[in-house]
Amino acid sequence: MTTTQRNAGPEDESTLGARHEGADARTGAGEDESPQERVNRRWNEILQETRVTQTGVQILFGFLLSVAFTPLFRELETLDRALYVTTVVLGAAATGTLIAPVSIHRFLSGQRMKDEVVEAAGRLMMCGMVLLALTIGCTLLLILRFVVPGVFAEILAGGVMLWFGLCWYVLPLYLRRRGDQRSQTKST
């Protein structure tokens, strides 16, 4: 049994057996895929993305939880405590959002709702990525406020958040738009 078959769930094994050898080498455009193959591919992609983001957010969240038990935590000013609480809440929300696709899949497995599961999981991943970026930004700001004097901490944290926005959202949207334009040019 292949990895794809193990991850697809029992309701999908009959269609997976019909895949030809070159199916994994597709461009992702779905030109040669059946609708069932496409949703299975999309689900497996989401699983891989979820594994990466879940690990990062869980490690960060664990770190944030431990900070409250350090001696220096008692010395935080009111603004820094508020920033810490905001960061922990964002981290908890990111963790819950990025783990939610697993729960949804578990509850709906075998219900022949994979299209809906993939759609919901994709939206949750996007929301979770925003929450993760905000958590990282707030964590960075909290740390930099101790290390860097004055407003420079805010400037550095803002610069990193801008970089995240460019890498995580602007670049993918730009590439999608470019791909759409290329597809329109080929079809005309």
Chain segment 53-79, per-residue pLDDT in tens: 888 888 988 888 898 898 888 888 999
Q: Which of 8-12, 69-73, 116-120 has the lowest mean pLDDT?
A: 8-12
DSSP E strand stretches across the chain: none
pLDDT band at 159 (very low <50, low <70, confident <90, very high): very high
* Residue pLDDT, tens place only, 89-108: 999 999 999 999 988 988 88
Q: How confident is the model at residue 23 (pLDDT cuts 50, 70, 90)?
A: very low
In tens, the pLDDT along 139-158 reads 999 999 989 988 999 999 99
Main-chain dihedrals φ then ψ at residue 144, nearest 5 degrees: -65, -30
Q: Indicate the pTM of the whole model.
A: 0.75
Provide the Cα torsion 124, 126, 129, 130; round to 10°: -110
State the Cα angle at 104 between 5 and 120, rounded to 5°. Answer: 95
> Can you tell me which residue has the tokens 């597809």?
183
Reported residue count of the chain is: 188
- State the average pLDDT over residues 32-61: 87
Distance CA 112, CA 117 (A): 9
Binning pLDDT at 50, 70 and 90, where does residue 30 land? low
Q: Are 111 and 124 in contact (CB under 8 A)?
A: no
Whether residue 7 is predicted with pLDDT greater than 60 in this model: the reply is: no
Looking at residue 55, its pLDDT comes to 84
- What whole-number distance in Å separates Cα of residue 92 and Cα of residue 96? 6
* Contact indicator for 137, 154 with CB cutoff of 8 Å: no
